[in-house]
């Protein structure tokens, strides 16, 4: 019996390695995710915004805790952006045609990013205005 093309090209599932090798593998997966996230225009723009904020913080001479909170908020933005991208990729794979459910999933992911960006902007604005 002849196998179909899809059967022959099926990827082989490799069992996870243990111990420190598992940590090394996980780091590799994270770097692959970072490379994929970098392909997103939104993520690149968020990185540019972080650089602009850092320059503004340097000029303003803000306190160390401002830097720490801003860095944590920036990391959260990238994390939520990565999750939003994952939702979009999966949604496009599962529902390549237009559907209200797919639209809702994408809109909710976008809302999550938008809310976190709003928190970032408010924090940075309050810091630069000297309110906090």
For residue 1, pLDDT over 50 is answered with no
CA dihedral sign, ordered 68, 129, 52, 79: positive
Domain spans in the chain, listed from the N-terminal domain onward: 41-132
Quick one: tokens of 8?
A: 């022959």
**Model pTM?**
0.85
> Which CATH class, in words, describes the domain spanning 41-132?
mainly alpha
For residue 116, pLDDT over 90 is answered with yes
Q: Flag whether 40 is marked binding.
A: yes
The single residue of 7, 63, 81, 97 carrying the catalytic annotation is: 81
Q: Flag whether 44 is marked binding.
A: yes
Per-residue pLDDT of 79-100, as tens digits, reads: 999 999 999 999 999 999 999 9
Q: How confident is the model at residue 8 (pLDDT cuts 50, 70, 90)?
A: low
Q: Flag whether 6 is marked binding.
A: no
For residue 25, pLDDT over 50 is answered with yes
Is residue 97 part of the annotated active site? The answer reads no
């Amino acid at each position: 019996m002849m196998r179909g093309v899809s059967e022959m090209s099926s990827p082989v599932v490799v069992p996870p390695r243990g111990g420190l090798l598992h940590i090394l593998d996980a780091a590799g997966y994270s770097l692959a995710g970072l490379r994929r996230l970098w392909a997103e225009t939104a993520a690149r723009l968020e990185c540019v915004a972080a650089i602009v904020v850092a320059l503004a913080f340097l000029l303003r001479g803000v306190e160390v805790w401002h830097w720490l909170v801003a860095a944590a908020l920036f990391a959260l933005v990238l994390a939520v952006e990565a999750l939003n991208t994952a939702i979009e990729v999966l949604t496009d794979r599962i529902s390549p045609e237009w559907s209200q459910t797919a639209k809702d999933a994408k809109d909710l992911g976008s809302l999550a990013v938008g809310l976190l960006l709003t928190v970032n902007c408010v924090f940075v604005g309050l810091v630069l205005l000297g309110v906090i």
